[in-house]
Each structure stands twice: as structure tokens, then as C-alpha cells.
Amino acid sequence: MVMEQAVDRRAFVKLVGLSAGGIALSGGAVVAGLVGRRRVGAQEANKVVLAYSDYPDVAIANLADLKDGEPVFFDYPQAGQRNMLVKLGQGRTAEEGVGPGSDVVAYSAFCAHMGAPLDTVYNHEHAVLGPCPLHFSTFDLAKSGILVMGKATQPLPQVVLAVDAAGAITATGMYGLIYGWPANLITLDGGN
């Protein structure tokens, strides 16, 4: 279901892979649209208004099953969109990290530059993903996937996680556009 509303930072997780080019200034407010744009009313001035679709909530693991530095791979939000869940450990605290130590994070396993697979290049000592086998991009997993080096110009898309009282880890959304998709929830054949 496509919706529009004013959002805070947290609600950005519901953004459907809108690229920076999909956001435009209009009357002093930022307006973006998945299926079109609308002008915001005076009462909405200076708020961010986005068109978005809801990501599914998908259970992916339990905290009790994670070991420091041992990645778990899962598809999200669609089949074929591969991601890596990992507990950084070593006393690190990660931005958007979950769990008692705020060190459990998940990211797309497709390089933000040209989509090369990053499945085998997790560096636990430095808590980075990379260097990418194609052009050496390396992403800091404790700092929202920001680029450390290489050719990518975007951070690595990060999966938004939630944890319940029983330790169940759920994927609830995604920051950023997964490489190769025009929008994270739109299938490549044009379906939705």
C-alpha cells in the first residue's frame, strides 16, 4: 500500500528505496514521491513528506544463536535481496545496532557501487565489510555502512532491526536503496 505522510527520522525506514534524485525541494519543504509528488500545505512547511510503502516484518534470527563475528545471511525484503546479519562484539557499539550491546547489525550483501557480492569479505577485527572483490569499496558496519575506501559513492544499505523480549531479531525496514533495484519493494519485472 502506498501512502504519504510527514515523517521523523525513524519513519525513514519505510522509505521505499528512494534515491537522492527522487527528493525535490518544493515551497521550502522537502517533497518526495514514489508514485508522484504533491505540494505540502502551509501546516506542513519544513517537514519531510515522503511517499512510502510498508516493509514487511520478517523474523531472521535470535540473539542467542549469534556468535561474535560469525555472519548470518538472509534475504530481505524480497527473495534474492541478500543481507548479512552480524554481531560486531569487541565492545563496539553500532549506529542502529540492536541487542544488549547495541552491536548487532545487518546490511545488504550487494556492494553499493556495482552490486558485487560481499558475502566473503567481512573483516571482524575492524568491523568492516570489504574490500569489495571488484573495486575495493569497504564499509564501516559500526557507522551506518559509511564508505571507508573504494569507488562507492553511497553507504551500504542497512537493514533496520528490532528485538523482542525473547531475543527474536526481526527485520522491519531498510535504509538506502539496494543496488540493482529501482525501489527495494518493487520487483525487477515491474510487479509490486
Residues near ligand FES (CB under 6 A): 111, 113-114, 116, 132, 134-137, 150-152
DSSP 113: T
**Which residue lies nearer to ligand FES by CB, 56 or 117?**
117
**Gap between the Cα atoms of 25 and 66, Å rounded:** 43
From 126, 135, 143, 151, the catalytic residue: 135
The least distance separating ligand FES from the CB of residue 93, rounded to whole angstroms, comes to 27
**Which residue lies nearer to ligand FES by CB, 101 or 115?**
115
| Complete edge-to-edge strand list for the sheet that includes strand 128-129 | 122-123, 128-129, 138-140, 146-149
**Which residue lies nearer to ligand FES by CB, 50 or 116?**
116
The least distance separating ligand FES from the CB of residue 179, rounded to whole angstroms, comes to 8
Find all residues with CB under 8 Å of 11, minimum gap 6, and list them.
5, 50, 52
Any catalytic annotation for residue 124?
Answer: no
The least distance separating ligand FES from the CB of residue 118, rounded to whole angstroms, comes to 8
From 51, 97, 113, 142, the catalytic residue: 113
User: Residue 2 burial (CB < 10 Å; 0-12/13-18/19+)?
Assistant: middle
Any catalytic annotation for residue 113?
Answer: yes
Determine the 3-state secondary structure of 33 from DSSP: coil
* Residues annotated as part of the active site: 113, 135
